[in-house]
Amino acid sequence: MTALIDAYDAAFFDLDGVIYLGPTAVAGAADSLEELQRRGTTVMFVTNNAARAAQVVVDHLVDLGFRADDHNVLTSAQVAVAQIARELAPGSRVLVNGSESLADLVAEAGLVPVSKASDEPVAVVQGYDPAMTWPRLDEAALAIQAGATWYATNNDASRPTERGLVPGAGGAIAVIAGTVGGQPRIFGKPFRPMLEEAMRRTGASRPVFVGDRLDTDIVGAANAGIDSLMVFTGAHGKADLVGAGEGERPTHIGADVRALLEPPRTVDIDGGRATCRGQVAVVEGGSIRLNTRPDTSEGQFDALWAIARLAWADPALDCADALAGLELVR
């Protein structure tokens, strides 16, 4: 058996929705990563969540049974602050509109974190903070209007948790943007700096990125010129996949990270007929329907991959009935 990972020299993983959901590891993730590392695959955890220090992320991963240290965990806050420090003079004041750990990174980089527009910061950096308040957003907006350069660690609209989706850093950015206009310079996925730094740190020449979101993970991989695996343990599901546009489409799909250790799905397309591991989807009129009845999770993911490939070839096709038959895929 040839595993999907055999075509790559490294695997980069998003965390929320891929490796864990809040305090709980995703089923099969720890064993799969242990096997990847046993096989010699370089593993790196790449997270847009800028609220927690990298060491806190390492400790969380270790507590959940993963092998992690400060060499294979990369946060959007680290990438953002490193670049900001290269662009600003040492000792520059930066209004930190994010967590305490983001402020600590700013200070460690030789800059001075402040919290008010009256401190006359030369820059504002936004990052996810579950304790964000409206007055703090006011201060960021006022500082930007006074001429401060606007940066952000990431712009995720939501975060998957064990209880469901909650607002992400993108919500706070939208509040400021609605007030001052424009957008900040962003460093996390889907923008190139994040995965470029991951490749630089690992020396990987052909990595695969594993994520649950099309708009950050899959688009981010495409922007960095690397392949991607979309898993269905987090934010996005089957309807999102078939509706993906150019630049949003993953190279591979799988139920979860265990797919890296299984053969990759391939699809044969003959006109309006797509076949994946014996599951067949066909175009009839303006719709896609299944010619087979997959009754296992793996079979339904095979069918989904066939449906997606037909849908991408003609986005006007109606996929609703075909997707409704895939009850085991969210």
Diameter of the chain measured on Cα atoms: 66
Question: By three-state DSSP, how is residue 174 classified?
Answer: helix
Distances in whole angstroms, Cα of residue 111 to Cα of each of 99, 101, 137: 16, 14, 21
Residues acting as catalytic residues: 14, 16
Classify the C-alpha dihedral 298-299-303-305 as positive or negative: positive
Cβ-based burial of 89 (10 A; exposed 0-12, middle 13-18, buried ≥19): exposed
Q: Residue 145: which residues within 8 A CB-CB, separation 6 or more?
A: 180
| Cis peptide bond upstream of 130, omega within 30 | no
**Other beta carbons within 10 Å of 190:** 26
Separation in Å, CA 256 to CA 13, 53, 327 = 11, 26, 16
Which residue carries 């990125």 as its tokens? 209
